[in-house]
Amino acid sequence: MSRREILEALSGLLLALFVAMLSATVVSTALPQIIGALHGTQSQYTWVVTATLLVSTATTPIWGKLADLYNKKTLVQAAIVIFTLGSLISGFAQDTAQLIAARAFQGLGMGGLQILVQIVIAAMISPRDRGRYFGILGGVMALATVGGPLLGGLIVDTSWLGWRWCFFVGVPFAAVAFVLLQKTLHLPVVRRPDARIDYWGATLIAVGVSTLLIWVTFVDKNFGWLSWQTAAMVGAGVAILALAVWVESRVAEPVVPLDVIARRNTALAIVASLAVGMAMFGGAVFLGQYFQIGRGYSPTEAGLLTIPMMVGVFAASTVAGRLTTKTGKVKGYIVAGTIVLTAGFAVLSTMDHATSLYLIGFGMFLVGAGVGMSMQNLVLVVQNSVPLREIGAASGAVTFFRSLGGTIGVSVLGAILANQVAANIASGLAKLGVPASKSGGAGGSLDVTSLPGPIQEIVRAAYGDATGHIFLVSAAIAIVGIIAALALKPVTLRDSLDLPADKDDDKGAAVKQAEPAGALSD
């Protein structure tokens, strides 16, 4: 494809990615008010985010495998339709249970968009040339992540719109992306009548991960760490995931190919992505809550205060992308990114309800820069090491584990935050001499403005002081990413779309020789 054809196709792909990212970030600053309006709790706050990540995570490898077997363009458009329907249902939700269910359905389309966009780009552009487009990709990420919180804040602060438009606003963008892809994206399609999807493996992975995440959400609140409920849920989750590994090792077309993820660089990239995803998603989700509840800013102001992080993402991804294309080297940027990310979390771990906004902004900039240098480059390492026919499964695997890390991070850090907040509120009320029964539900409600003045101050301080603890945990997790990045084997990115024939196995060569007979065009 010529550069013009690539840019035309990228317009629809990046708009679809923009819509998916916007759906997550537009809610971040509005979520405290949404949960407050629906009379939700801190656990439900976490699950509005976790439900989307969970379904997105569980279905990512399925989307990736489907992309190796069927029409990539049709799959992207199908993901857009599912995502749009989920957005509309979320906007009409009447309580938090309905909102969580709708967000879970929305996650099905979001998972498809996040992985399929990467797969299609990999099918058009060689690994080395892909770096020069990272600036565009970084710009889209920065725009969605900066614009989302600002847009969400403006929506909930505008009385004649209301929070429901946080979900409706992405629908027009999704429709435009669908039309653009129909007109501009043209890829060869390989028909494989014998193709099979490993539904058993996908189901077992989803059920096993869900069981462990549900346990994380309720442990230490509804039952103890050492209890029969913990033993039952953890035991069941581990057993189901072990069964999933057994299934994946025996089926002909595994959703998560064990032979691919067992390769050194792929395995290390997955470990680093797991740590980065857990730290980044888990920590960043609660920043909007910190600024609004802990510091008392409006949703619009909270969105503006997250700009340093997005500037870091845009600047680092642009510079690192261009240098990657120029040099063909990628390991150094991943190592530097994980170190900067960890440093950013270390800075944020010092904050409380009175910390200087300049220091918090500096910490957020470091976190954004670390993400910009490491996240996409980790996917690039994996894509560079596999033949084109495995690009979907390999990309799906690394994205799956990154999303899994994010899902676990949100659940674990959300549980830590909820417990710490409850302890801080109880301590503050005791000092004030207010019995818990007369606190107005301060420990469970996020509608802080409805609380009496003195209790409101206690709740704000509790949230502000507790947030530093979750960033300290994030910093510890991110250290694992540094170790994995240092262990990566240095590679030079290839200039070709596919691996040379002499580096592929005999089975792969046979498949590639058989493909042209069934190749079609969209």
The answer, yes or no, to whether residue 303 has pLDDT greater than 80, is no
According to the model, what pLDDT value does residue 69 have?
75
Q: What percent of the chain has pLDDT over 70?
A: 81
Q: How confident is the model at residue 466 (pLDDT cuts 50, 70, 90)?
A: confident
pLDDT digits (tens, 9 = 90+) for 317-345: 888 878 887 888 888 888 999 999 999 99
pLDDT digits (tens, 9 = 90+) for 236-265: 999 998 998 898 888 877 777 777 777 788
pTM of the model: 0.74
Q: Is 197 exposed, middle or buried (0-12, 13-18, 19+ CB in 10 A)?
A: middle
Under 8 Å between Cβ of 472 and 329: no
Q: How far is CA 191 from CA 50, 71, 514, 519, 520, in A?
A: 36, 8, 11, 7, 8
Residue 290, pLDDT score:
83
- CB atoms closer than 10 angstroms to residue 21: 22
Q: Which residue has the higher pLDDT, 83 or 504?
A: 83
Question: In angstroms, rounded to a whole number, what is the distance separating the alpha carbons of residues 117 and 76?
Answer: 7
Q: Which pLDDT tens digit goes with each residue over 137-158? A: 766 766 776 677 778 778 877 7
Tell me, rounded to whole angstroms, the distance of Cα 340 from its chain centroid.
19
Distance between CA atoms of residues 102 and 137, nearest Å? 28
Residue position matching structure tokens 């510079």: 319
Cα separation, 400 vs 402, whole angstroms: 5
Q: Any idea which residue has 């990420």 for tokens?
A: 141
C-alpha to C-alpha distance for 29 and 149, rounded to whole angstroms: 5
| Residues 213, 217, 221, 223, Cα dihedral to 10° | -20
List pLDDT tens digits, range 170-182: 888 888 888 888 8
Mean pLDDT, residues 379-401: 74
pLDDT digits (tens, 9 = 90+) for 82-108: 999 998 998 888 888 888 889 889 888
